[in-house]
Amino acid sequence: MNDDTKTATGNDYRDTLFLPKTEFPMRGGLPKAEPKWIARWDEMRLYDRMREDAKKRGAKPFILHDGPPYANGPIHLGTAMNKILKDLVVRGHQMLGYDASYIPGWDCHGLPIEWKVEEEFRAKGRTKDDVPGDEFRRACRAYAEKWIEVQKQGFRRCGVEGDWDHPYLTMNYESEAATVREFLRVAMSGRLVRGSKPIMWSPVERTALAEAEVEYHDRKVPVIWVKFPVQGEDFSVVIWTTTPWTIPANQAVSFNPSISYGLYEVESVMNEEELGFAPFAKPGDKYVLADALAQSVMDSAKVSGFKRLQDVNPEGWTLTHPLHTLSDFYKHPIPMLAGDHVTDDAGTGFVHTAPAHGEDDFLVWIASGHKASDIRDIVNEDGVYEHPDLPDALQGLDIIRTSGKKRGEQGKANPEVMRLLTEAGNLLSRGVTTIRDAHSWRSKAPVIRRATPQWFISMDKPGANGAAPLRELALKALEDTGFTPPSGRNRITSMVADRPDWLISRQRNWGVPITLLVSPDGQPHTYALPEDKANEVNKRILDAIAAEGVEAWFSADAATFLDGIADPAGWEKVTDVLDVWFDSGTTHAFTLRDRGIIDENSGQADVYLEGSDQHRGWFQSSLLECCATRGMAPYKQVVTHGFIVDSEGKKMSKSLGNTVEPEQVANQFGIEILRLWTASSDFTEDLRISDDILKTNAESYRRLRNTLRYLLGALDGYSEAEAVDPADMPGLERWVLHRLAESDALVRKSYETFDYKRIMSAMLNFCGVDLSAIYFDIRKDSLYCDAPSDNRRKAARTVMSLVLERLVTWLAPIMPFTTEEAFLMSQFAGRADSVHLLTFPDTPKSWLDAAHAARWEKIFKVRRVVTGALEVERREKRIGASLEASPEVYIEDKTLIDAFEGESPADLFITSGAKLVHGEGPADAYRLEDTPGVAVVPAKASGVKCARSWKYFDPATADPEFPDITPRDAAAVRELRGAA
RNA sequence: GGGCCGGUAGCUCAGGUGGUUAGAGCGCACGCCUGAUAAGCGUGAGGUCGAUGGUUCAACUCCAUCUCGGCCCA
């Protein structure tokens, strides 16, 4: 202690002061503390207790239905953030007074797991065909279980509260049974269709793939220009394609009537010496090309000179297949089809059309009046040419290699087709290019488009009994759904409006079976049989699955389900499984409805909350499934979050080295820092994270923690008996109550609307400015020095108690660990075993007093000028602590002076004295530009320094018994001695 | 290439229907305190509101184009 702080007598009054006293440490030690709190909550069955308490309160239910993460790997920052966000929603609503239950779930079926398990079998020398279906599915189940456990521990470590002992799993037997039940319900609704259309097909995995199962990569491919001779003319239409293997399946050529076409004649070609090869084009050849592309096609064909002969209109032409010399199979006429998908941006202005192998091709084929049944399907499930009428040269060629070291590379089909085209004289040119093309998500091998029979849920077919088409139902349901952020509605609506039929069949093992029996004439039993018979069959299927699980379907034959209902002769059992999106689309049924949480037919979850990518995923699959079965959305509200990016706004990737792992954050900072980060970010957009950003949040944490600590310290020994009625409190306390009431409204509204960043910024401001910089700083003197019986001190402690009670609950959803720690050390600990069993305390509206608050804003305005003036004194070394000053404050505006009515300006300025004077003040007084009419003349406080409160005072006023302290301090010390 | 969304101080965020010198907290710099002390207080410096063009008396706020980034799709 330096000499300046010594007082005349040197008496030490320190132990007569009421300094903050608490066991609540300044630092949280979160990484170590958090797991202990989780264990404690586990032990006390906190989640169950929350449910029981809510039921006792008669609380209104609030259901956030969990979107299931896929059970095939550890959690990462994105999944952690997703679960933390859900936890904020659930805890926030629980404390708002709702019964906010939360059942976490997992998505378990599907290709990624199946692929992984296949790999494991392969490592043991067993191929997929060696492993019986049931054994394979058991292995998949075990694989999913393993990761579910890992993820569960990860999520729990994040402080996410929920029914972890009873999660939902899409692979639970009752879930699978429910999924079958839901599927049959869709089938009976009349929306199921069997179609054959080009879909993405992976020859490597021998399966159809959905959009969600493919990814796009650059790939080097051959590019060819092919001549299609026009019948009855001496010229050819030229097409361009990067899939030579589809030429044998060509059935048409498309053009666009809005493109201008011309007939071109080759005059000269580049010579063989220059090129090293002879160009295929010959002088005199005549081609039809889009005018915009003629030059580039001629360049590619190494034509050095050409002329345009005339305008042409391709409409109505019939072409000859470029391989027509090869086989009778290619003697068929090739029509010209008009289509908007043809452009003159690239290529030739004509598009070779193989309806079995392209979405556009298929559509233009059907649109021009051709039949789906006339589509030539010459590629089998291995991606190999196979058709009885195919010429021998093509039979058995593979498009993509499906095994060995070169798996995924180009097979024999492309080169052989090019060779045959050359032989036929119809190859104009060839080259190599790079395109972005679909690849299987798992094997990374390219996929092809192939027409196969598949099951679809129709978007546009009216439902049974006159029900509206699914698309119409879904669009209507979206109108009735709330969206956070609002742009989500627009996004999902346009997707639903445009989406094709839902392809739900997969030729795989690990999934819920498509429990259909197909009649001899190709109809599913749900249509082929009369409704009552179909229902009988359905009941038999459901009973079997209820008894033995889905294996009952896989192991049975069609007769098992038909005997006695229909003649099983000629019927076939479908062996496909359902798209996993169908599983996840039914989670509302087996999680919420079957458990009695919402009504079977009319119930809805309050919120579905997922990443914005789920507009095309779970939000949509759930919407479509529920609309098909119940005519409404399964949710009232959809909340979406963005994705985590680094400090530059770039997405996280291992190759960029900018990833952050949840475990690493938990160990370095504590997971609560990640929760703080989640809460303070605008989750509706992308969320930026970096080490610096986490450090900033650790600073915020410190401020919040220290505020709690100061309150706990100041409230040492406090009890309700000390409480002062607000009416008897000083103005400053009533101002704090006003701020508390304002904050209460803000906090409640923000929790209702998921606006956590607003809570964070409000709480940080409240703790940092209102409390720490203003209220605590001013009331420190009263708290430390006033007598225990002093009304001002009691009022301060009353207010602090009210503040603590609120802070600890308002922050509990965001900081469950630290608020629990503070709560259990507070005088409120007796109210409940956990802060999480409380709701936000009622905050009387009467605390709100706008006029009073306005008055205090005036006081703070003057105060800012005073602190500014003192800063100058400090800089000039005339004072150190503000108690060494006693300023004169000149105020022109009478209303500003009136604001101080009944207050002690010196206390508010934390000076030893202060004088307010109505007037302009001397010219050299300190002024602030933005506070005109206020002038401060700083002056050193006179008198001696009180040995107890360190305030300067006139010794002549001292109590004779205590000459070295102020009369206020003397009274306090006397009271203490009397009490002792 | 298409659909949707976004780019405000070093960081996280505020900025109804366009209108005086664009705000807050944190961080930073400097100073104070040493009875909240690996804390607390004060003062201060930081922004061509992604860029350009336009509408307007007036634009961070409206329109267009571009750019960067994100999600989804091709």
A860 and A926 Cβ atoms separated by less than 8 Å? no
**Dihedral sign of CA atoms A586, A592, A593, A595 in order:** positive
pLDDT digits (tens, 9 = 90+) for A492-546: 999 999 888 898 988 888 999 999 999 988 889 999 999 999 999 999 999 999 8
pLDDT computed for residue A5 by the predictor: 41
- Distance between the two ends of chain A, CA-based, in angstroms? 29
Structure tokens at A980: 């002792």
Contact (Cβ atoms closer than 8 angstroms) between residue A79 and residue A663: no
Q: Which two tokens stand for residue A631?
A: 């005519």
A491 CB closer than 7 A to any strand B atom: yes
A447 within 8 A of A440, measured Cβ to Cβ: yes
Segment (H or E) for A894: helix A894-898
The DSSP output letter for A655 is T
**Strand B contacts (CB < 7 A) among A residues 682-721?**
682, 685-688, 692-693, 696, 699-700, 702-703, 706-707, 709-710, 713
Q: How far is the CA of A901 from the C1' of B43 (A)?
A: 28
Closest CA to the C1' of B70: that residue is A686
Please report the ipTM that was assigned to this predicted complex. 0.96
Contact of A817 with A33, CB cutoff 8 Å: yes
A964 CA from B35 C1′ (Å): 17
Answer yes or no: is A487 CB < 7 A from strand B: yes
Please report, rounded to whole angstroms, the spatial distance between the CA atom of protein residue A67 and the C1' atom of nucleotide B71: 18
Among A21-35, A56-70, A408-422, A857-871, name the one with the lowest average pLDDT. Answer: A408-422
Q: How many CB atoms lie within 10 A of CB A638?
A: 23
The DSSP string of A473-504 is: HHHHHHHTSEEESTHHHHHHHHHHHH---EE-
Q: Which residue has the higher pLDDT, A180 or A288?
A: A180
Residue A702, nucleotide of least CA–C1' distance:
B39
The Å distance, CA of A491 to C1' of B54, is: 30
Please tell me the predicted confidence (pLDDT) of residue A786: 97
In sign, the C-alpha dihedral spanning A747, A751, A753, A754 is positive
Residue A2 is predicted with a pLDDT of: 38
Q: Which two tokens stand for residue A654?
A: 């291992």
By C1' distance from the Cα of A19, the closest nucleotide is B35
| CA distances to A3, A4, A9, A273, A884 from A12, in Å | 14, 14, 9, 108, 20
Place of tokens 């689309």: A585
Any idea which nucleotide's C1' is nearest the CA of A866? B42
CB A326 within 8 A of CB A422: no
DSSP state of A285: -
Tokens matching residue A941: 């406080």
CA to C1' distance (Å), from A748 to B46 = 34
Q: In the structure, how far is the CA atom of residue A494 from the C1' atom of nucleotide B3, in angstroms?
A: 8
Task: Provide the pLDDT confidence category of residue A381 given band limits of 50, 70 and 90.
Answer: confident
Which residues in 155-214 of chain A line strand B, with CB less than 7 A from it? 211-212, 214
Which protein residue has its CA closest to C1' of B25? A765
On the CB side of A351, CA atoms within 13 Å amount to 26
SS3 label, residue A831: helix
Q: Work out the pLDDT band at A373, boundaries 50, 70, 90.
A: low
> How many Cα atoms sit within 13 Å of A505 on the Cβ side?
23
- C-alpha torsion sign, points A385, A388, A390, A394: positive
CB A948 within 7 Å, strand B: yes
What is d(CA A225, CA A114) in angstroms, rounded to the nearest whole number? 41
Q: How far is the CA of A699 from the C1' of B27 (A)?
A: 9
Residues A841-869: tens digit of each pLDDT: 999 999 999 999 999 999 999 999 999 99
What is the side-by-side strand order in the sheet with A261-269?
A303-312, A261-269, A286-290, A236-241, A214-229, A427-440
A867 Cβ within 7 A of any nucleic strand B atom: yes
pLDDT at A273: 67
Task: Report how far residue A76's alpha carbon sits from residue A12's, in angstroms, rounded to the nearest whole number.
Answer: 57
Containing H/E element for A612? none
Q: Is the CB of A640 under 7 A from strand B?
A: no
Question: A696 CA, B12 C1': separation in Å?
Answer: 8
Instruction: Tell me how far apart the alpha carbons of residues A727 and A738 are, in angstroms, rounded to a whole number.
Output: 13
The nucleotides of chain B lying under 7 Å from a protein CB are 3-6, 10-14, 21, 24-27, 31-44, 68-74
Helices (H), A285-325: 294-300
Confidence category of residue A340, pLDDT binned at 50, 70, 90: low
Nearest to A884 by CA among A947, A957, A939, A964: A939
Measured in angstroms, what separates residue A489's CA from nucleotide B73's C1'? 17
Across residues A605-630, what is the average pLDDT?
96
Looking at residues A288-317, what average pLDDT do you find? 79
Chain A residues 739 to 768 with C-beta below 7 Å from nucleic strand B: 757-758, 760-761, 764-765, 768
Q: Which residue has the higher pLDDT, A401 or A17?
A: A17
Q: Residue A211 has what pLDDT?
A: 63
Residue with the bigger pLDDT between A879 and A244: it is: A879
**A897 vs A878: CA distance, rounded Å:** 27
Rounded to the nearest 5 degrees, what angle is found at the Cα of A869, between the Cα atoms of A868 and A875? Answer: 90
Contacts of A808 (CB under 8 A, 6+ apart): A708, A819, A822, A823, A826, A828, A835
Would you say the C-beta of A881 is within 7 Å of strand B? yes
Nucleotide nearest A2, CA–C1', reads B34
Q: Which nucleotide is nearest to A930 (CA to C1')?
A: B21
Q: What is the pLDDT of residue A298?
A: 77
Residues 421-450 of A with CB under 7 A from strand B: 436, 438
Q: Are A781 and A19 in contact (CB under 8 A)?
A: no
Distance between CA atoms of residues A879 and A632, nearest Å: 72
Cβ A642 vs Cβ A673: under 8 Å: no
Q: What average pLDDT does range A317-334 have in this prediction?
A: 81
- Name the residue among A902, A896, A932, A931 with its Cα closest to residue A917: A896
Q: Does strand B come within 7 Å of the CB of A1?
A: yes
Residues 534-593, chain A: which have Cβ under 7 A from strand B? none
- A96 contact partners, CB below 8 Å, separation of at least 6: A748, A751, A752, A839, A840
Averaged pLDDT of chain A: 90
> What backbone torsions phi and psi does residue A552 show, to the nearest 5 degrees?
-60, -35
Tokens 């990737």, residue located: A653
Alpha-carbon distances of A469 from A474, A495, A634, rounded to whole Å: 9, 16, 17
Q: A773: Cβ under 7 Å from strand B?
A: yes
pLDDT at residue number A667 = 95
Is A216 exposed, middle or buried (CB count within 10 Å of its CB: 0-12, 13-18, 19+)? exposed
Q: Which is more confident, A364 or A103?
A: A103
